[in-house]
Structure 1
């Protein structure tokens, strides 16, 4: 099987071709340089996130200057957003699955099941799950593509990826690799490597969503499919108002009680409101080159599945 991960000098990412013969692909960890995981006490006091979560950040003071973007309802410098998002998900990683069940009353499982039903995934295919976190989708894709297929679970956040890796290895998913990757660049992956690319509840956290969509287009094979499962805009005004009340009162409270972190869940509620609506995201996908784009509203538009194909 041809590797979907580029072999580059001094690469920090897992190179499938370098694995010892007989090592199941799901058992290896991403390569880490000496001292890469160590964080100085002063750094820990300033940030909760692992410095490797700031991996390949394309936004720096040199490239973006003082240009700003949104972090929830706040305005922050583009160069800072990636680290701030890393703080959030490093904090919530251990309780992420429990909170998903509580926040959505378990309905997130139905949303994901519906997205998978639109994937068209088949045995032998190559799948990339971006911002895959704890591996809900990757676990199903691992079964669907079978021994002749391959799944890459990628995330920019090492804490989230560690949780997903442990979970999928324990489930016996030995056709899955785990790769730290930035959704805006997807630099570890070669052009036209995957039959299917998915991103589930992750796109709204990306600094430059247009760049991420272009990167997804690049790594897809001709005829390949992109699925974006994300919170969206409710289509009924009464539902929208009730949803706002729930999001900005119940979510931070649950975050405080269960994860001891109300601020992170306040950000998550705000980030949903700042995400493009259904029609805008569809247009963004088309601008990135995707064709036959459509979307499917779920639970009255609280969530939508967007789908597009590479020419």
Structure 2
């Protein structure tokens, strides 16, 4: 899996802008607003990728807070470090490693963010347990990811978009295999209701899944 993201790291942000018509930036800002990071807070951004979301979080917690970005892809973190170097005033640091085996103690964070990562873990339940482990009492977390629409028309529209737009565009930059995987991963990903159930089983007192973009995306809001 890490090799997949190593391959896509250099073009990841440009493709996101192109394929979502820039809307992924709006969805990430919605995720940040739902997390409600405050100055001085310590936030862990799991599966941080190239750190576009980590930068948004760091802007909210500065000057005395901290954002720790975690990702298993060395190439993605190289892009993240370059982005952070352009903003040296932001309180950012990065850890390369497996999200399911982090060297962080229990209660290390006031908040946890994960965007487009839970779906790619070997176990969504295990990922939610890691988030629970990281949070301090009364902590909050938000998970942003693709959603499996409950309405057949929306589900068909999502499949058509992936097959007729996403994969052909990815083919043009020699990333067809990496983006063909996207449809398969969504098809086997837990639904919003299933995510809520898994989160409660992991120990969260509040677990609410909010459909975004007509149900094509989803925000899972978690609180202890």
TM-score range, shorter chain: over 0.9
Unaligned runs of 5+ in 1: 1-84
Partners of 2:216 and 2:52 lie apart in 1 by: 20
Candidates 59, 63, 75, aligned match of 1:147: 63
Unaligned runs of 5+ in 2: none
What residue in structure 2 maps to residue 230 of structure 1? Answer: 145
Matched, 1:294 2:208: yes
- Report the alpha carbon displacement of residue 103 of structure 1 after superposing the two structures with TM: 1.5
Contact in 2 for aligned 1:235/1:300 (Cα 8 Å): no
Partners of 1:210 and 1:181 lie apart in 2 by: 19
- Could you say what secondary structure the match of 2:183 adopts? helix
Q: Give the structure-2-normalised TM-score.
A: 0.96
Partners of 1:291 and 1:183 lie apart in 2 by: 22
Candidates 122, 138, 147, aligned match of 1:207: 122
Q: Give the structure-1-normalised TM-score.
A: 0.70
Partners of 1:283 and 1:239 lie apart in 2 by: 23
Partners of 2:88 and 2:37 lie apart in 1 by: 20
What residue in structure 2 maps to residue 92 of structure 1? Answer: 8
Q: Over residues 82-131 of structure 1, what are the superposed CA-to-partner deviations in whole Å (9 max), with x where a residue is unaligned? A: xxx12211111100001111111111111111111111110000000000
Candidates 165, 189, 193, aligned match of 2:104: 189
Structure with larger Rg: 1
Contact in 2 for aligned 1:184/1:208 (Cα 8 Å): no
Matched, 1:306 2:220: yes
What residue in structure 2 maps to residue 116 of structure 1? Answer: 32
Q: Structure 1's 135 and 253: CA in aligned 2 closer, same or farther, altered over 3 A?
A: same
What residue in structure 2 maps to residue 216 of structure 1? Answer: 131
What residue in structure 1 maps to residue 96 of structure 2? Answer: 180
Candidates 125, 130, 145, aligned match of 2:41: 125
- Structure with greater proportional helix content: 2
Contact in 1 for aligned 2:113/2:143 (Cα 8 Å): yes
What residue in structure 2 maps to residue 270 of structure 1? Answer: 184
Matched, 1:261 2:175: yes
Matched, 1:137 2:53: yes
How many residues get paired? 224
- Could you say what secondary structure the match of 2:148 adopts? coil
- Report the alpha carbon displacement of residue 226 of structure 1 after superposing the two structures with TM: 1.2
- Report the alpha carbon displacement of residue 173 of structure 1 after superposing the two structures with TM: 4.4
Contact in 2 for aligned 1:251/1:269 (Cα 8 Å): no
4+ residue runs over 2 A deviation: 171-174
Q: Structure 1's 173 and 247: CA in aligned 2 closer, same or farther, altered over 3 A?
A: farther
What residue in structure 2 maps to residue 34 of structure 1? Answer: none
- Could you say what secondary structure the match of 2:11 adopts? helix
Q: Structure 1's 234 and 175: CA in aligned 2 closer, same or farther, altered over 3 A?
A: same
Partners of 1:304 and 1:243 lie apart in 2 by: 13
